[in-house]
């Protein structure tokens, strides 16, 4: 059962042309996100029963992916009247991306047996991720990394995100960590 679209985007009526199609697409999107989270939970159970040498790093990676996906799913379900909560949950999603890439780095290092090359980067990345996570939590009150603004497109209302310069530091940090993970595979 899905939340009413009028609650999510603040529509007054469903009489607008094309609303039925949008409601169906929105519900399908939410269903896909929920199925994705359920599949990852099943993967956690399967990994937990395995004897794979990379089990610990796989559990960390999939567990972090669940938190990140749940944060995003919840953030798009928040009604327009709860802007503070929407900003906080969007921040949870961004925090999840930091830690998801760190979990990916640890998994790749375990998989490729390159743990010795990630000792120092792991500490540096974790330190920056902690600072970034604190900053993203504080963003719910200070709005120094990004803001959300109610926007209207035709008949639908949604949250439009506006990044501030500090948020680009977060984005480049995540991109740099992804590049580092790829370099471990080379």
In tens, the pLDDT along 74-107 reads 988 888 788 899 999 999 999 999 999 999 999 9
pLDDT tier at 138 (50, 70, 90 boundaries)?
very high
* Choice among 24-33, 60-69, 89-98 with the minimum mean pLDDT: 24-33
User: By the 8 A CB rule, do 99 and 92 touch?
Assistant: no
Terminal CA-to-CA distance of the chain, rounded, Å?
45
Q: Which long-range contacts (CB under 8 A, 24 or more apart) does 115-124 make?
A: 117/184, 118/184, 121/180
Question: Tell me, what's the pLDDT at 4?
Answer: 39
* Choice among 96-110, 118-132, 147-161 with the minimum mean pLDDT: 147-161
Q: For residue 122, give the nearest of 168, 72, 167, 60 by alpha carbon.
A: 60
Here the tokens at position 181 are 């993970």
* Choice among 15-24, 105-114, 143-152 with the minimum mean pLDDT: 15-24
Residues 130-142, mean pLDDT to the nearest whole number: 97
Question: Tell me, what's the pLDDT at 23?
Answer: 73
Question: Tell me, what's the pLDDT at 21?
Answer: 72
Question: Tell me, what's the pLDDT at 154?
Answer: 65
Cα atoms found within 13 Å of the Cα of residue 108, Cβ hemisphere only: 19
Backbone angles phi, psi at 152, to 5 degrees: -125, 130
What is the Cα–Cα distance from 122 to 79, expressed in whole angstroms? 38
Q: How many residues does the chain have?
A: 186
**Percent of the chain surpassing pLDDT 70:** 86
Three-class SS state of 182 = helix
User: By the 8 A CB rule, do 101 and 181 touch?
Assistant: yes
pLDDT tier at 68 (50, 70, 90 boundaries)?
very high
Q: How far is CA 180 from CA 30, 65, 173, in A?
A: 32, 19, 11
Q: pTM of this prediction?
A: 0.83
Question: Tell me, what's the pLDDT at 135?
Answer: 97
Whether 1 has a pLDDT exceeding 60, the answer reads no
Here the tokens at position 100 are 């998801």
Residues 48-74, mean pLDDT to the nearest whole number: 93
Three-class SS state of 179 = helix
Q: Which residue has the higher pLDDT, 180 or 7?
A: 180
């Amino acid at each position: 059962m899905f939340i009413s679209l009028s609650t999510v985007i603040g529509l007054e009526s469903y009489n607008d042309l094309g609303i039925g199609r949008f409601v169906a697409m929105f519900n399908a999107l939410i269903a896909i996100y929920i199925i994705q989270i359920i599949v990852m939970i099943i993967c956690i159970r399967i990994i937990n029963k395995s004897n794979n040498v990379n089990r610990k790093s796989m559990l960390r990676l999939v567990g972090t992916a669940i938190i990140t996906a749940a944060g995003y799913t919840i953030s798009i379900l928040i009604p327009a009247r709860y802007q503070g909560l929407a900003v906080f949950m969007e921040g949870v999603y961004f925090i999840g991306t930091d830690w998801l890439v760190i979990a990916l780095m640890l998994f790749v290092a375990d998989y490729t047996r390159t743990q010795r090359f990630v000792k120092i980067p792991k500490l540096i990345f974790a330190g920056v991720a902690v600072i970034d996570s604190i900053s993203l939590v504080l963003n719910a009150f200070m709005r120094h990394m990004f803001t959300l603004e109610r926007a209207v497109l035709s008949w639908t209302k949604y949250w439009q995100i506006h990044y501030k310069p500090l948020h680009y530091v977060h984005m480049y940090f995540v991109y740099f960590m992804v590049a580092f993970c790829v370099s471990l595979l080379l």
